[in-house]
Structure 1
Amino acid sequence: MNDKPLRASTRTSPTSGVSHTESQFGLLRERRFAPFFWTQFLSAMNDNVFKVGFTSLVTFQAARFAGVDPKTAAFLISAIFIVPFVLFSATSGQIADKYDKAVLARLVKSFEIVVMLVGGAGFMLHSAPLLYACTFLMGVHSTVFGPVKYAYLPQHLDSHELVGGNGLVEMGTFVAILIGTIIGGAAAGASEHGAMLLALACIGFAIAGRVASAFVPKSEASQPDLRINWNPVSETWRNLKLAKQDRTVFLSLLGISWLWFVGATFLTSFFNFAKDVLSANPDVVTVLLATFSIGIGTGSLLCERLSKRRVEIGLVPLGSIGISVFAIDLFFASHRIAPAGHLLDVGEFLVALPHWRILADLFLLAMFGGFYSVPLYALIQARSQPTHRARIIAANNILNSFFMIVSALMALALTSYGVGIPGLFLTTALLNVVVAVYIYSLVPEFLLRFIAWILVHTFYRIRLVDAGRIPSHGAAVLVCNHVSFVDAVVIMAESPRPIRFVMDHRIFRTPFVGWMFRHAKAIPIAPAHEDADMLERAYAACARSLDEGDLVCIFPEGKLTRTGDINPFRHGISEILRRHPAPVVPMALRGLWGSVFSRHEDAQWPRPIKRGAMTRLTLAVGEPIAPEDATPAHLQDAVSALRGARR
């Protein structure tokens, strides 16, 4: 892969005039991102100091809380926290679209200070009702902050920064969870002053978050004239209908919500998993949560490098596969744990080798969860209309809350029927397989991008030259030289958005490749002397696609090269442009000639996996050409110049 775009350097946006860093970590030095990052970081940390402290106290010191069942308390706390998302998400989405997001962030953080004063009183008095009330109010706080948080990012980041920015937010969130878990668990474990330490920590972090929010820059309202509908039922329904207008966005919302189902099931099970399965004390819960958090953070940060700073939804199926594989292995690993006669401390836990398999499964499961979530969040932000973005995020929160409540109810039901925590993990892993198959069958774009990404990045080390010239929005025709049978796959893997390829009709008869390109909505074409009707249908399909603002890619040579040289460009491109004039983007592939996928007589298989031995190829993209200038001869000259001497 080309590492050049990932080096730390700066550039200036032609639209905003703001200096932009080329490394995602550089965003942490910029005011447009850093104050927002620390505000949400402290918010996530405080949530977990409170929830982990509360959960730890009622699980391991149940006698001090009258009427609390330690086996179900963790699931009940999770459910209470989520209820406000169901009740108020629709309203909070409207508020985030109507008002300045920086002002809303400051109001929310002021509210958090009041809430934590209530929680502090609950800790000091060992009052379960007060702590449950505080849990609900913190849910209200997060409900209002959620749409602000995710609608803020695309307002202040360029499209190529969205994956890196979301990766930092996801990493920061789970590092905050880790730190909050450590602080909450340690404070709850302090026998004499635990309640006071928890109270002081929660109030202190709320104040720190309010200070950070004061530096968040002004964020103009997306739709200041919006009239707020205060009816949560009708507005929830309206938000869901709004989200369903874009099928891919809506199913991405469902995909994220499902991840919250999976994550909630695991995170809320850790206390009972440690106590009942691993025979471990609360400090080991911190180790489990730390492993999970570091895994999510690692996966989230790797997304930018793996996706080359664009929204790469091909990582989503990879993530779902990894989640199921390692969740299933966690089930089998749990059955190899022999019960101990006492609760193990951290040192005793880490000495036993079977426990390292548990930790490895948790880390890898969470890392693949990062691969899964970051591209989905970036996709939603990139494809949602700016005027409705916060309400789309609110719809996401509604779905998230519903899935998390179902997760808690499923866990309560299964445990009441005697299913252990490992059985709960296995059930979740198998359900994840079913959900993944369902979503990818409805939106093949995810699976196709995954297949293209795997094939290309297994065999090739690709260098991109001016790939930013491929339009991120609007209609355009891409033209490229035709060197091999995998040209379309390479271009598909490196494009920032879906492409409709014009392909020889015979390729659709091939079982796997035909299935792949049919689901990619490729357009079959035949010469006039073979099937004049099919040729006319192909031109009509190209015109419709361009009318709808899609990218259409054609190989004007009409056939694979047998010599490595570019064949003469045919006049089909002129007919496409006659029906719908659109900018034409010339592209050239270098390095595929001589591979087994080409017609080279001494063709060789590319060498996979090992980075230093991978076959190098280049995809070069030229300046767009106006349709009136895009003659076959001019386009052939442009593609030849991009390809150069290397074939």
Structure 2
Amino acid sequence: MDSLLDIEDAFSRQALSAPWGELGRSATLGIVALYSKFVVSVLNSYSAQGVDTFRQHVMHRDAAQGLITVCNHTSTMDDPMLICSLLPASFFFREHQHHGNRWSLCAAEICYSNVLLGQFFQSGKTLPIQRGGGIDQPIMRTVAAEIARGHWVHVFPEGKVTYTGTLGPLRWGIGKLVCDARRRANGRDPVVLPFYHSGMGRVLPKHAILPRTGNDIAVVVGEPLDLSDLTCRCNATGDDLRAVWRDITKRVGSALYELEARVPPNAVQAQGGTQQQDQERSRELDSALPGVPTERQ
């Protein structure tokens, strides 16, 4: 058992390390933040509700309190562009001082397709996840451990970009991540903060490489979720534990659906079909991924 823990610790240290050093990490995050702000606020029009709530929990929460932010996923640049727009640029350039920026996840075959690209994303605090690897792959244990240590992780609970214009089915992984982080933090729940956005699907639509201009982007930040009536069951086992994951996922989904009604509708990005047809294709794709069940309310 000790050897397995040693292997996991070594894996985590490697995954979390800054390949270009701590100053290199701050420079990477800062430059990406400036570019993101330019695209979102200069090339396009940006408005946000609840910015103070977001900044309070990101920048001023208890140092031992882990944070999970969740939102819908409509383009490949939702993170970093929206995250960077919600926070001051100085927060990113000072990463080497406070180490408070978010960790995020990206498909390994995209973000780590070569050594240089992998170093860039690792320097930008983006970790590789294996598509089809399930919800118990090693990187998810690393993420849960970081949350338990009081760090911030951003998650797209849909598990992929959804092009239908509405929130897609949520994966159980968010429920499992909450329970795993709570267990590692000796029963302390992480803060789970939802936000919802519209317009990014027009800024960087499906198959686009360069961002578009002249679009309206709207973000609404919700309140932290009270999950205590559910997380108290996180010590269950077997099917009972999976039921807890589902219930947490449903609670997260309900919060996102409520926020969805407060922003302008997102564009339908399906090509060659109606919104209903694209939603059906999305459900077919989800059902074709064994070990990654979904829930939609």
Q: What TM-score comes out, normalization by structure 2 length?
A: 0.59
Could you tell me which amino acid in structure 1 is paired with residue 27 of structure 2? F
Report the counterpart of residue 169 of structure 2 in structure 1: 568
Aligned-partner Cα distance in 1 for 2:108–2:180: 21
What does the per-residue CA deviation read over 1:536-579, in whole Å, with 9 as the maximum and x for residues that have no partner? 21221112211221111110101111222211011001111111
Whose relative contact order is higher, 1 or 2, with alpha carbons under 8 Å and at least 6 apart? 2
Report the counterpart of residue 48 of structure 2 in structure 1: 464
Could you tell me which amino acid in structure 2 is paired with residue 598 of structure 1? P
Aligned-partner Cα distance in 1 for 2:150–2:199: 31
Check the 8 A contact 2:102/2:153 in 1, yes or no: yes
- Please show how residues 81-480 of structure 1 align to structure 2 within 5 Å: 442-458=23-39, 459-470=43-54, 471=57, 472=59, 473=61, 474-480=65-71
Question: Taking structure 1 as reference, are residues 514 and 460 closer, same or farther at Cα in structure 2, changes over 3 Å only?
Answer: farther
Check the 8 A contact 1:523/1:541 in 2, yes or no: no
Aligned-partner Cα distance in 1 for 2:77–2:119: 15
Report the counterpart of residue 606 of structure 1 in structure 2: 212
Aligned-partner Cα distance in 1 for 2:80–2:224: 22
What does the per-residue CA deviation read over 1:109-147, in whole Å, with 9 as the maximum and x for residues that have no partner? xxxxxxxxxxxxxxxxxxxxxxxxxxxxxxxxxxxxxxx
Aligned-partner Cα distance in 2 for 1:550–1:495: 18
Q: Does 1:492 align with 2:96?
A: no
Give unpaired runs (5+ residues) of structure 2. 1-19, 88-99, 183-189, 231-246, 267-297
Report the counterpart of residue 143 of structure 2 in structure 1: 542
Report the counterpart of residue 617 of structure 1 in structure 2: 217
Could you tell me which amino acid in structure 2 is paired with residue 593 of structure 1? G
Could you tell me which amino acid in structure 2 is paired with residue 587 of structure 1? F
- Deviation, structure 1 residue 513: 6.0
Q: Does 1:482 align with 2:73?
A: yes
Aligned-partner Cα distance in 1 for 2:177–2:36: 30
Question: Taking structure 1 as reference, are residues 572 and 452 closer, same or farther at Cα in structure 2, changes over 3 Å only?
Answer: same
Question: Taking structure 1 as reference, are residues 640 and 515 closer, same or farther at Cα in structure 2, changes over 3 Å only?
Answer: farther
- Deviation, structure 1 residue 600: 7.6
Question: Taking structure 1 as reference, are residues 484 and 574 closer, same or farther at Cα in structure 2, changes over 3 Å only?
Answer: same
Check the 8 A contact 2:193/2:224 in 1, yes or no: yes
Aligned-partner Cα distance in 2 for 1:493–1:526: 25
RMSD: 2.8
Of 104, 121, 130, 1:501 maps to: 104
- Deviation, structure 1 residue 447: 2.8
Aligned-partner Cα distance in 2 for 1:620–1:505: 30
Report the counterpart of residue 133 of structure 2 in structure 1: 531
Q: What TM-score comes out, normalization by structure 1 length?
A: 0.28
What does the per-residue CA deviation read over 1:180-209, in whole Å, with 9 as the maximum and x for residues that have no partner? xxxxxxxxxxxxxxxxxxxxxxxxxxxxxx
SS in 1 for 2:166: coil
Could you tell me which amino acid in structure 1 is paired with residue 110 of structure 2? I
Structure 1 or 2, whichever has the larger Rg, is 1
- Please show how residues 46-65 of structure 1 align to structure 2 within 5 Å: none
- Deviation, structure 1 residue 488: 0.8
- Deviation, structure 1 residue 501: 0.7
SS in 1 for 2:154: strand
Aligned-partner Cα distance in 2 for 1:448–1:522: 11
SS in 1 for 2:75: coil
- Deviation, structure 1 residue 465: 1.1
Check the 8 A contact 2:28/2:120 in 1, yes or no: no
SS in 2 for 1:580: helix
Question: Taking structure 1 as reference, are residues 641 and 625 closer, same or farther at Cα in structure 2, changes over 3 Å only?
Answer: same
Check the 8 A contact 1:594/1:600 in 2, yes or no: no
Could you tell me which amino acid in structure 2 is paired with residue 460 of structure 1? N
SS in 1 for 2:110: helix
Check the 8 A contact 1:484/1:592 in 2, yes or no: yes
Question: Taking structure 1 as reference, are residues 450 and 604 closer, same or farther at Cα in structure 2, changes over 3 Å only?
Answer: closer
Question: Taking structure 1 as reference, are residues 604 and 517 closer, same or farther at Cα in structure 2, changes over 3 Å only?
Answer: closer
Aligned-partner Cα distance in 1 for 2:257–2:210: 24
Q: Does 1:646 align with 2:265?
A: yes
Report the counterpart of residue 272 of structure 2 in structure 1: none
Could you tell me which amino acid in structure 2 is paired with residue 481 of structure 1? N
Q: Which has the higher helix share?
A: 1
Q: Does 1:584 align with 2:192?
A: yes
Aligned-partner Cα distance in 2 for 1:440–1:460: 33
Aligned-partner Cα distance in 2 for 1:449–1:510: 23
Check the 8 A contact 2:37/2:85 in 1, yes or no: no
Q: Which has the higher strand share?
A: 2
Aligned-partner Cα distance in 1 for 2:126–2:210: 28
Check the 8 A contact 1:585/1:623 in 2, yes or no: yes
SS in 1 for 2:171: coil
Could you tell me which amino acid in structure 1 is paired with residue 251 of structure 2? H
SS in 1 for 2:200: coil
What does the per-residue CA deviation read over 1:568-618, in whole Å, with 9 as the maximum and x for residues that have no partner? 0110011111112312101112111233x23289x99422xxxxxx42212
Aligned-partner Cα distance in 1 for 2:202–2:122: 28
SS in 1 for 2:225: coil
Check the 8 A contact 2:105/2:155 in 1, yes or no: yes
Question: Taking structure 1 as reference, are residues 604 and 520 closer, same or farther at Cα in structure 2, changes over 3 Å only?
Answer: closer
Check the 8 A contact 2:165/2:265 in 1, yes or no: no
Q: Percent identity?
A: 20
Check the 8 A contact 1:501/1:523 in 2, yes or no: yes
- Deviation, structure 1 residue 489: 1.1
- Deviation, structure 1 residue 637: 2.2
- Deviation, structure 1 residue 441: 6.6
Report the counterpart of residue 131 of structure 1 in structure 2: none
Aligned-partner Cα distance in 2 for 1:574–1:440: 33
Name the count of aligned residue pairs. 198
Give unpaired runs (5+ residues) of structure 1. 1-438, 608-613
Of 122, 135, 147, 1:518 maps to: 122
Check the 8 A contact 2:73/2:158 in 1, yes or no: yes
- Deviation, structure 1 residue 487: 0.7
